Amino acid sequence: MHIWQTIREAFVPAKSDIKDPCFWRVDIHSHLLPGVDDGVSTTEQAVACLTQLSQWGIRKVITTPHVSRDWHPNESFVLRGGQQLLQNLADEHELGLTIEVAAEYLLDEFFIELLNAGDLLTFGRERYLLFELGWAAAPRQLDDILFRMQARGYKPVLAHPERYLYYYNALPALAQLRANGCLFQLNWGSLTRRYGERVQTQANMFLRHNWVDFFGSDMHRSGDITTMNSLFTSPYYSQLKRQSLLNESLI
């Protein structure tokens, strides 16, 4: 048996009963460049993840390694170089995927330096910029940073806002972020209770308010696949279809 077939059987579950269930077609948040952050560590794991996304109907993967000074001080030129590696893997295994590389930026001093230098990895013609916040509290200068992003021509996209406990049921604060031009990206695992019931409840709130601009897997490893598959039979799947997702505009 070919080694890649063995890997697929080990890591990839059966296809969903729904044909191409990922109707949004473009995944805009994942960690599939081997060895650059807390995502996949090997090319074999990357292939397993890409294979499953392809089987679910994804046609473009915009992978987004972490960038932060203390944990993952990745440089843009290094991350750009990883794009061809993943594209070659996808082509070799005939996955029918287009691979792009952006980043998930933590709003720290390193990010401000990159912003000032114009050295940021974005996605889409609109220059969408994916960023995350610290888990303890949002930065006090968040509104100012959002303004500075947009002044430089970027469209800020906050990664997984449903996971920040300080925004739990904080509708006015979230509405203010949207009013200030911030888009929201919901995590796949938030709807499958991967992060717990409280995060799932908060994710449902985003669905009810039609506040989901982008949907992303935030896939870090092949072990994430089993829980992700449960989305397609959950009641949240039909709610997700009612969102005005921007993912498919990136094809």
Q: Where do the structural domains in the chain lie, given as residue ranges?
A: 23-242
Q: Summarize pLDDT for 158-178 with one digit per residue, the tens.
A: 999 999 999 999 999 999 999
The sign one gets for the Cα dihedral 24, 66, 186, 123 is negative
Give CA 194 to chain center in angstroms: 15
Q: Which of 1.10.3720.10, 3.20.20.140, 2.30.38.10, 3.40.1440.10 is the CATH number of 23-242? A: 3.20.20.140
Q: Summarize pLDDT for 173-207 with one digit per residue, the tens.
A: 999 999 999 999 999 999 999 999 999 999 999 99
Give CA 88 to chain center in angstroms: 21
DSSP string of 68-92, one letter each residue: -SSS----HHHHHHHHHHHHHHHHH
Using the predicted structure, report yes or no on whether residue 248 has a pLDDT greater than 50.
yes
Question: Measured between alpha carbons, how far is 43 from 50 in angstroms, rounded to an integer?
Answer: 10
Question: Measured between alpha carbons, how far is 8 from 53 in angstroms, rounded to an integer?
Answer: 12
Using the predicted structure, report yes or no on whether residue 1 has a pLDDT greater than 60.
no
pTM of structure: 0.93
